[in-house]
Amino acid sequence: MECNSVAFAFPGGAGGLDLPCIVADPFDDFWKLSTRLGMGACSEVRLCESINDSSVRAAIKIISKGAPDLFCPQSGDCREVLAFRAMQSHSILFQSSGIYEDERFIYIVMELLTGGQMLPRLTDRERYYPRYCENDIVTVARSLVRALAHLHLHGIAHRDVKPENILYFSESKDPTVKLSDFGIADTNAHNVNATDMVGTPQYIAPEVLL
């Protein structure tokens, strides 16, 4: 896919638009893969370092092109790539510094967060209580509502909001979070009626099950 002018916060791009476009240059010309941070059925997240500057680190999501559910049936575009293009202007949504592809995979380079998932902060009372309090939950909930409103304004439905997909910026008490994992997002929500039952069963709204 041709990409003429696209801005990146990390190596591998030129100045121009502030929305990521798929770059034809080989991913490993700019980044070196390191530790695995997470694993899904059709994708994984790895720590990566800049080839030119090892102090520059990021998270890289590697998406298999052999996973049809992660691509829009109408256009064939990767759902997560489409979502990232509408996410760059909101602070709670992950920012991408570059998107690459080869014959088998799509690589999305993202900012690196070190605070882990929200779920342990809700369940591990010995570690987080009483440090993690009601005011923190209110702050997170307010941020999430604003982020979802931003997504819906751009015709994107996340469809899998859950504590495991809410990540903290750091291990500090600061409740700054990011909403992650747009692998099953509906990127055409303005124009279609959503009828498929998707997401994680434990978190599906009751009215969806009726």
Active site residues: 160
Distance CA 67, CA 118 (A): 27
Q: Compute the C-alpha angle 182/192/6, nearest 5°.
A: 45
Produce one character per residue of 99-128: b if its CB has 16 or more CB atoms within 10 Å, e if not.
Answer: bbbeeebbbbbbeebebebbeebeeeeeee
Distance CA 13, CA 5 (A): 8
Contact present, 86 and 154 (Cβ < 8 Å): yes
